[in-house]
Amino acid sequence: MEHAVYLCAWSRSRDGYSLWVPSRPKLRANGSTHAEAEERLIRAIQDAGGATHAVLEFDPPLPKSILEAKYAKPEIYLICGDDRFETNVAKGSPFESAAELEERLKGIDAFFQSPICRKCKYSSSPRSDEPLSLSYAPARYDGAFGHVGKLGMTTLQLFSGEFLDLLTPQERQYLKLRPVIRKRPARKFYELLGPAGPPLVAVAGLKISGWRCSKCGHRIWGYWVEGLSIRTFIAASDLPPFLRGIFTVGIPPEIHLAVTSERWKALVGQKGTRGFTSNLLGVVPEHEVVRVPELPTYEESLRGAGCLKRSV
Ligand SMILES: [Zn+2]
């Protein structure tokens, strides 16, 4: 097993942190900081014949740094299944002609309301009526993310029927979902299509990593700042006055599922959230919100340092 999510518990004493996997209590590690203990637990999992790339999910969440606490009001997490789905869209060959490539891109276009950008391969329009047809869906996990075909870059998310069964009728009704097509469906999965939620924003004064497409203007950004596990942010002023336990974040076609910390406490560890990871979503006070961040083009970002790597 290469990659797996382990649900972990932790405690803190004068000497530092103790972390363990409650379903396999022998998997345990200590460290003076939680980062050190995490590193040791990942190694202990590997040494015990577990995943070579263990992902640790903590219930309750690990303590926050001062910087994280500043952006955790209210405390919201983005949740998703830590597995990738694959679609039946044609995969292409290493020596394909320009015409064959264009044919393949047209195959991806069919999944969106307007054609995807021929340069960055992102879509700037919502999904079309074409349902996803999968060649691979998780066998054990209750969620997955992925793209249309090998070339599509827009990230789409799936959730299992078991996960949706954990939600209240009101929560389910609010989400816009569409069943995916599978040849021999052992389990049911649904694509999260909407509704549109608070858009992702940038933060004034925090070092941003990202780029913009010089052809379509699409922007990708995130944060990899020391002492800050938050990668994505929304504006506090975009949150509704009465927050649902579960709601969506982002503009179609890229929709994330967000959950308040109270709601996540009731869901984590249950059948229906297997293989889920939660990531703190930053909530930015209005005076620090940047709606459209200045970003280098992809080519410029390659000449700079520390930017997101991908091929265009
Ligand atoms: Zn583009």
pLDDT mean over 181-210: 94
Expressed in angstroms and rounded, the spacing between residue 206 Cα and the centre of ligand 1 is: 25
CA–CA dist 206, 225 (Å, integer): 8
pLDDT at 312 over 80: no
Expressed in angstroms and rounded, the spacing between residue 295 Cα and the centre of ligand 1 is: 14
| Cis amide bond preceding 195, omega within 30 | yes
Expressed in angstroms and rounded, the spacing between residue 29 Cα and the centre of ligand 1 is: 45
Report pLDDT digits (tens) over 25-68. Answer: 999 999 999 999 999 999 999 999 999 889 999 999 999 999 99
The answer to whether 298 and 76 have CB atoms below 8 angstroms apart is: no
Expressed in angstroms and rounded, the spacing between residue 255 Cα and the centre of ligand 1 is: 19
Expressed in angstroms and rounded, the spacing between residue 40 Cα and the centre of ligand 1 is: 41
Confidence of residue 309 (pLDDT cuts 50, 70, 90): very low
Confidence of residue 305 (pLDDT cuts 50, 70, 90): low
Report pLDDT digits (tens) over 240-282. Answer: 889 999 999 999 999 999 999 999 999 999 999 999 999 999 9
The answer to whether 40 and 34 have CB atoms below 8 angstroms apart is: no
Expressed in angstroms and rounded, the spacing between residue 214 Cα and the centre of ligand 1 is: 7
| pLDDT at residue 3, rounded to an integer | 80
| pLDDT at residue 303, rounded to an integer | 82
CA–CA dist 121, 154 (Å, integer): 8
What rounded mean pLDDT belongs to the chain? 93
Expressed in angstroms and rounded, the spacing between residue 226 Cα and the centre of ligand 1 is: 30
| pLDDT at residue 307, rounded to an integer | 45
- State how far the alpha carbon of 247 is from the alpha carbons of 24, 155, 198, in Å: 33, 18, 10
| Cis amide bond preceding 63, omega within 30 | no
Q: What is the reported pTM? A: 0.91
Expressed in angstroms and rounded, the spacing between residue 132 Cα and the centre of ligand 1 is: 22
CA–CA dist 293, 299 (Å, integer): 17
Expressed in angstroms and rounded, the spacing between residue 108 Cα and the centre of ligand 1 is: 14
Q: Phi and psi (nearest 5°) for 236?
A: -55, -35
Report pLDDT digits (tens) over 74-117. Answer: 999 999 999 999 999 988 788 889 999 999 999 999 999 999 99
Expressed in angstroms and rounded, the spacing between residue 199 Cα and the centre of ligand 1 is: 19
Expressed in angstroms and rounded, the spacing between residue 93 Cα and the centre of ligand 1 is: 23
Expressed in angstroms and rounded, the spacing between residue 216 Cα and the centre of ligand 1 is: 4
Measure CA of the first residue to CA of the last residue in the chain; give whole Å.
Answer: 31
